[in-house]
Amino acid sequence: MNKNIAVLASGRGSNLEAIIKNIEIGKCIANLVLVVSDNPDARALKIARDHNIKALYLDPGPKKTWLLPEYEENYVRVLKEHNVNLVCLAGFMRIIKQPLLNAFPNRILNIHPSLLPAFPGLDVQRKALAYGVKYSGCTVHFVDDTVDGGPIIAQAVVPILDNDTPETLAERILKEEHRIYTEAINLILSGQYQIVGRRVIRVES
């Protein structure tokens, strides 16, 4: 099966960096063909170029939180031109809508720094601390037309410590993100799974 992936990222790119490292050491079976950003200054673009991976800034258009259809179509065109089979959002700060979802049905993944369905959206470490939960973590899920709501592929649990701040919690969660994103990508590219209702279940091929 085609193992071409693209990563879409808006900023720091630490998840991208972890995926690249895992590919380089043979832990991730993906072939990373393209990195795309909606932010010309994203560190993610520099990380990709430093590793000789094609990196493009694509104009996101006038809206702040999503792409108008004609702009999203451009993302679809570029991803298809690169024969991308799986799209991985890694800190891509846009809600994904129809042109992309239709072009890549159940082929777009996202990583989120909470144990979904708890704390979707933004600023989630602060929300987890304010709520008083004892455990948080991270989730890799399929992207659908809801915000952080698609079927869950992988999760990791991180205990919350009494002296945690949003920053210290985010840092510990991020370590787990870097581990489980590769695991989730490997599972989806291996094809050894089924989606049953909302459950993503491992199957032997």
Residue labelled with tokens 């987890």: 128
Q: Would you count residue 91 as binding ligand GRF (CB under 6 A)?
A: yes
Q: Can you list the alpha helix ranges (DSSP code H) found in 63-150?
A: 69-81, 98-103, 124-131
Q: Would you count residue 14 as binding ligand GRF (CB under 6 A)?
A: yes
Q: Would you count residue 137 as binding ligand GRF (CB under 6 A)?
A: no
Among positions 15, 22, 136, 182, the unique one binding ligand GRF when judged by CB under 6 A: 15
Among positions 55, 100, 111, 184, the unique one binding ligand GRF when judged by CB under 6 A: 111
- Output DSSP code: residue 95: B
| Residue ranges in 60-89 that form contacts with ligand GRF under rule CB under 6 A | none
CB of residue 192 vs ligand GRF: minimum separation in angstroms?
24
112 is catalytic: yes
Peptide bond into 113 cis (omega under 30): no
Among positions 13, 60, 99, 150, the unique one binding ligand GRF when judged by CB under 6 A: 13
Cβ atoms of 163 and 156 within 8 Å: the answer is: no
Q: In what order do the strands lie in the sheet with 108-112?
A: 55-57, 31-37, 4-8, 86-89, 108-112, 135-142, 152-159, 199-202, 193-196
Reduced to 3 states (helix: H, G, I; strand: E, B; else coil), residue 33 is strand
Alpha carbons 37 and 26: distance in angstroms, whole number = 25
Closest CA to 173 of 150, 191, 157, 192: 157
107 labelled as ligand-binding?
Answer: no
Q: Would you count residue 113 as binding ligand GRF (CB under 6 A)?
A: yes
Which of 51, 112, 141, 178 does the annotation list as catalytic?
112
From 57-65, 74-82, 111-119, 185-193, give the range in contact with ligand GRF by CB under 6 A: 111-119
Among positions 28, 36, 67, 90, the unique one binding ligand GRF when judged by CB under 6 A: 90
Give bridge partners of residue 136 from the DSSP assignment.
158
From 25-33, 69-77, 109-117, 195-203, give the range in contact with ligand GRF by CB under 6 A: 109-117
Alpha carbons 172 and 175: distance in angstroms, whole number = 5
Q: Would you count residue 136 as binding ligand GRF (CB under 6 A)?
A: no
Residue ranges of the binding site: 13-15, 64, 93-96, 110
Catalytic residues: 112
Q: By CB under 6 A, name the binding residues for ligand GRF.
A: 9, 11-15, 90-91, 111-113, 174, 177
